[in-house]
Amino acid sequence: MAILEMENVDVYYGNSHVLFDLSLDVEENEVVVLLGRNGAGKTTTLRSIVGSVPRREGRITYRGTDIADAAVDRISGMGIKLVPEDRRIFPTLTVHENLQVAAETAGDPRPVEEMYEIFPTLDDLRDSLGRDLSGGEQQMLSVGRALVQNPDLLLLDEPTEGLAPVIVEDLRRVFREIVEEDVTVLLTEQNVQFALDLAERAYVIEKGSNVWEGSVPELRERDDLLEEYLSVSVAESD
C-alpha cells in the first residue's frame, strides 16, 4: 500500500511552470529514487512534499491524508523529514548541540548517542562547530539530525553531491542500515550507481514530467533511457 502519493501535481515558481502533471507513489518500507539531470525538477518534487513549495494543481496524500496545503511543521510532525541538498545545519552550534536541538523538536526521538554509533566520525567531533566541518562531515550531521527525529518517511536530496568517494561509501553503509530498519526512503541522486544500489524502484523525470517508471532491474536493462536522460550507460551504472 502506498504511504505517499502525488497525483497530477503542478508546481510553479512565480510564473515559471516547474512540475507538469507529476505523479508518483512510494510504498511502505520501500526505497524509491528520482533520477534526472540538474534542473529536471527532482528537488522541487521533494520540496512540494514537505510543503516548502506549494503545489498549484493536483493531490499529495500521506497515509491517506491530504497534505498538499498543510503547513511545513505539520507535515514534519507527521514523520516526513527532508535532508536538503544544502544541509542546513546550525553553523554556530556544535555537532552535539545540532543533534540535541533536532531531538528536542521531535515527538519520539531516537537517542542522540545512537547517531554517534551510526556516524563514528561525528563522535570525534562532538564539540566542533557546524561551520568548521568539512562538506562530508556536514552531510553526516544533516542526515544524523533527520535520523534522530525517527522519521517515518525520509527524503534525501542529492545526498552524495560534491562528496569524496570515501564519504560516499560511508553514506552507502548508513543508508543500507536505514533500509534494514524499514524506514521508507525517497531520494534524488545524480550518482546513478549509488542510487541503483539502494533503490528498488525508480522514476526518471525530465523538464518536470515523468518519462519512465519501473523497477531498478528493469532500468538497468534500459541503456537507451540511461543515456538519453542521465547521460550514463549500463556499464557505468553497474
Q: Where are the domains of the chain?
A: 1-79+153-167+182-238, 89-151
Which letter does DSSP use for residue 129 in this model?
A: B
With beta carbons less than 8 A apart as the criterion, state whether 37 and 207 touch: no
Sheet holding 184-188, edge to edge: 80-83, 153-157, 184-188, 31-35, 201-206, 209-215
Using alpha carbons, list the distances in angstroms from residue 190 to 43, 68, 208: 12, 27, 16
Percent of the chain with pLDDT over 70: 97
Instruction: Report pLDDT digits (tens) over 54-89.
Output: 999 999 999 999 999 999 999 999 999 999 988 889
Q: What is the pTM of this model?
A: 0.92
Looking at this protein, which amino acid is placed at residue 232? V
Within 10 angstroms of residue 49's Cβ, the number of other Cβ atoms is: 25
pLDDT in tens, 87-131: 889 999 999 999 999 999 998 999 999 999 999 999 999 999 999
Backbone phi, psi, residue 116, to 5°:
-75, -25
In CATH, 1-79+153-167+182-238 is 3.30.360.10: no
C-alpha cell at 63: 497515509
Give the gyration radius of the chain's Cα atoms.
17
Looking at residue 28, its amino acid is: E
| Closest residue by Cα to residue 37 from 189, 155, 184 | 189
**194 contacts 160 by C-beta, under 8 angstroms:** yes
Supply the DSSP symbol for 111: P
The burial class, CB within 10 Å (0-12 / 13-18 / 19+), for 101 is middle
Distance between CA 58 and CA 84 in Å, rounded?
23
Res. 15: pLDDT tops 70: yes
Residue-wise pLDDT for 165-200, tens only, equals 988 998 898 888 888 887 899 999 989 999 999 999
Q: Dihedral, CA atoms, 50, 142, 186, 63, nearest 10 degrees? A: -50
